[in-house]
Structure 1
Amino acid sequence: MDSCTIRAKILAELIEQHEGCLREDRETPFVTLSFAQSLDACLSAEKDQSTKISDYEADILTHQIRAIHDGILVGINTILVDDPQLNVRLVEGPSPTAVVLDPNLDTPTDSRIFKLRCKTPIICCDETVPLSKREEFQGATGANLLAGSFSEPFYLYKIMSKLKNLEIKTLMVEGGGRTIHDFLQNSLVNYFVVTLSPVFLGSQRSVRYSNFRVSLSGVIDQAQYQILGPDLIVYGRYQDHRASSEMVACP
C-alpha cells in the first residue's frame, strides 16, 4: 500500500472507534494517545530539548488525527520545551482546541497556542493558583481556565469530565512522558496510534513500563502495524485489564 492508503486505513479504523464510543453515554471524552518515540522508548534526545523523531509521512498522519479530534492535550513541559502550535497545518481540516495541563499556570503568555487560533485554548490549573494570577493570565491570553485540585487522586478524571461538558467529546493526547503516564495510570486511554522511529536516542526522556505483566495484545486489542516511510505505526483499541503494573515516567 502507498502512504495515502495506509493513512486512510488507520484513520478509518479510528473514526469507527470514535463513532462507536460517541453513541455511548460517556462522562469523559474518547481519548486517543498518539506520540512518536525512538526504539529505546525515548521522546527526546535530552531533557528540556525538542527533538524531531518521526518522518514527514508520519507527521502528515499526526495532523490528520488532530483534524478529527475536538481537542488536543499536552502537559506543561511540552509547552515549555517545544512551544507547539497544536493545530492542523499539513492537511486540510479543522484545528482542535488546545488543552494544557498546567497546575502552576506556567504557560508563557506569548506561547504559540495563543496565536492564529480560531478556538480558545483551555489551560487546566490548580485551584491554589492565586485568583489575581489567573485573572492576569486570562487578560493577557484570552484563555479559558479550568481550575481544580491536582492533588486529588482522581483529578485527571474530573478534568476530563469538565472537558466533556465543554463539548470536547474526542481528545488527542500527544505528551509528554508524565502526561502519557498519567492517562495510562488513570485508565483514561481508549485508542493508541504510536509511531516508532528506527533511531536510538539514549535519553532519560522516556515513558518506561516496568513489571508489565501482560502481553502487547492484552493492552492494545487486535493491535495493527503499518510501515509509513521509515517509521512503524502501531495502533489499536486500548484494553485496560492489567493484573498488575507499575509505570514510571522519566522527568
Structure 2
Amino acid sequence: MHIDLTGKTAIVTGSTRGIGHAIAVGLARAGATVVITGRKQADVDAALARLAEAVPGARARGHAVDLSGAAGFAQLKAAEPECDILVNNVGIFGPQPFAEIADSEWTRFFEVNVMSGVRASRAWLPGMQQRNWGRIVFISSESAINIPADMIHYGFTKTANLAVARGLAKSLAGTGITVNSVLPGPTLSEGVQEMVAPGESAEVALERANAFVRQHRASSILQRVALPEEVANMVVYVCSPQASATTGAALRVDGGTADTI
C-alpha cells in the first residue's frame, strides 16, 4: 500500500517529541506538509531539524504556542488558517493517588487533554467541510477503557476523547471527513523514559519500561512497550485516502493490553 498525502497540510499538536513527533515524521514521509507545535521555540526548532534529517526534503514548519487554553489556539489558527489533517496529540499524564488530586489538577488535565482537541477540531473543521475532505484523529490511550488506578484523572480524559471523537464523527455523517481515535498502550516516549528511568540511558529505559509492562500491565500480549513509530504507522494510515471507510472508530495500538474484544 502506497500512502500519498502530497498536497495535504497536517497539523500535529504536541509534536516536538514522542508519539507526536513520530506521527509528524510519518506524515512527512507520506508527502504531507507538516506543522509541528510545542510550547518552546527551541524545542520546535530542534524537532524541525530532526524531521529534516529523517525526511530529507520534507515540507514542514513549526510554531511555539501554548495549547493549554483558547488563546493558544487562536494564535495557531491565525498562523495556519487551513488544515486537511488534524492530529490532536497534545496531552499530559502522571501518576497521583486519587485522594491527592486537587480540583485544579482535574481542571488542568481536562483543559489540556480534552479541550485542546475540541478547540482544534472546531477551528479547522469549517475548512474541511468546505472542501468535503478531512481527517481528524484524537490520540487517546488504552487507559480510556482500562482506567489506571494511579492515574484516574488521566484515564477520565482519555475516555472523554473517545466520546468527543465518536460524536463528532456522527455529526459529519455522509461527508468526506473522518474522525477517529487511536489508543496507544505503553509506549517508549521521552515522557515514559523520564518516568521509569530518569537520567538513565535509552537502553536502561527500554529495559525498565519493558519490565514495567510485564509487572503492571500483565494483560499485555506484546509483553513490551511499543515504539512511537509503531503508533505513528496506525495514525498515518487513518489519515490516508485509503482509510476513507474508517470513521467513528477507536483503533487500538496497545499490544493487546486492554483485555477485551
TM-score, with structure 2 as normaliser: 0.37
Q: Which fold has the larger relative contact order, with Cα–Cα distance below 8 Å and residues 6 or more apart in sequence?
A: 1
Give the number of the structure whose residues are more often strand, by fraction: 1
Bigger proportion of residues as helix: 2
TM-score normalised to structure 1 length: 0.38
